[in-house]
Chains A and B, each alone.
Chain A
Amino acid sequence: MVQLRDNHRLGNNIMAVSPATQPVADVPVGMGQAMVVEAPGRLRAILGSCVAVALHHPGLHVGGLAHVVLPKSNGQSGLPGKFADTAVPHLVALLKAAGAAPPRLVAKISGGANMFGNTGPLQIGDKNIQAVLEALAACGIRVTAQDVGGTSGRRVIFSPASGELAVESVGQAPKHL
């Protein structure tokens, strides 16, 4: 169990969690949210067409997860974690505030399924994956592992202690990225 000392909102629906006094379970990250925890805290999300971006600082055992819903903000305001182009810079800023400097951050991503099949006009999963990769590249963050695409949902749990992103998907063996 992780010990939380503080639990404060930074901006609209962005929550930063820092160490130490109350025991908590895995912290769920809802659609459009972005959160940061220190080890041994863990972050979890359920994904369909959304993409989870997990950023990790290996030396500090601190990490964050953004639950990206759509590729581009196109100037829209709202949940900073909602769009790939706002979520990644925002998550980097949260980690920086927690002492994790961008040069050592690495990324793992998962999600971006097309739940209703690979036909139809709204293939948002593919667009989300592409937009997240572009946003990470723009911030100079290396992607070390990914499990994306397909037509099935995913449950992910991110552990900053090890940097592992565990991915479960229906009918498949769990993956440990």
Chain B
Amino acid sequence: MIDLASPDCPPLESLRRLSVEATQNASSAMCRWTGTRIHLSLDEVREVPLENVSAEMEIGDDLLTMVVVRSTGELGAEIILMFDETSSRKLAACLLGRVPDDCAEWDELETSALTETGNILACAYLNVMAQLIGSDLLPSPPLLMRDYGASVIQQALMAQAMECDRVLICRTTFQQDGEQLDWRVLFIPTEVTRRHLENAFRSNP
């Protein structure tokens, strides 16, 4: 049994426990929003050398659909919901009661459905974090992007890269009715936010 209040507690362990809580809250929010049994599970909390981020997080140069929500203000973080083209089409179709069409142009309703999904998920995630540290985490408006996954992560890592050559990434995966979905959520805190989270967990494990 790990004592989370102990100074000897591995720093990543407290962040892992916290991420599990945040993931559970996000899971419930996603079930309510999609009307299906979607389960989010924390895949890993890792420190990764800056130069190996793409390789170690298995984010190559594939084009992905992403919704980015930033926590602005003193405590910064990025939450990125990522899926491939087919998965994003399926989700939008499910939310709108349509049949997925991989060939059609994205319309306003589909775009809005995906953007709102990212917003709901990110807010559920940030709410847990904010309760723990007793401080507001202010989510930005969600930003829908279709681009190289590595390019988006690169920008999200800037604040951490300013401080050190290793970066912390929490990765969550999804299942729907027991089937693995090709969706991922990355939570990337700034160094300041990370320290706040670790300290809060140590004082109130």
Contacts and interface: CB of A to CB of B under 8 A. Distances in A.
A79 B51 CA distance: 9
Interface in B40-58: 50-55
Contact of A30 (B55, B61, B145, B148): B55
B63 A116 contact: no
B94 interface: no
Contacts of A49: 154-155, 158
B114 interface: no
Contacts of A33: 51
A109 interface: no
A31 B161 contact: yes
B14 to A, nearest CB: 26
Interface string B142-167: 01011110111111011101101100
18 contacts: A13-B51, A31-B157, A32-B50, A48-B150, A48-B154, A48-B155, A49-B154, A69-B158, A82-B50, A113-B151, A115-B155, A116-B70, A117-B143, A125-B155, A152-B147, A153-B152, A155-B148, A170-B63
Contacts of B51: 13, 30-33, 67, 79
Nearest to B68: A116
A124 interface: yes
Nearest to B146: A170
B159 A82 contact: no
A116 B80 CA distance: 12
Given A31-B161, A70-B161, A79-B50, A155 B152 contact: no
B200 to A, nearest CB: 24
Interface size bracket, B side:
20 to 34
A115 B64 CA distance: 14
Contacts of B55: 28, 30
Interface centre among A46, A82, A113, by most chain B C-beta atoms within 10 angstroms, is A46
A47 B151 contact: yes
Interface in A136-173: 152-155, 170
Nearest to B147: A153
Given A13-B51, A30-B53, A79-B165, A122 B158 contact: yes
Contact of B154 (A31, A117, A170): A31
A119 to B, nearest CB: 10
A50 interface: yes
Interchain residue pairs A-B with the least CB separation, the first 10: A153-B151, A30-B51, A48-B151, A48-B154, A115-B155, A46-B150, A153-B148, A153-B147, A48-B155, A49-B155
Interface in B148-205: 148, 150-155, 157-159, 161-162, 164-165
B70 A46 contact: no
Contacts of B145: 115
Which of B61, B145, B148 lies at the interface centre, i.e. has the most chain A CB atoms within 10 A of its CB? B148
Contact of B148 (A28, A31, A46, A82): A46
A99 interface: no
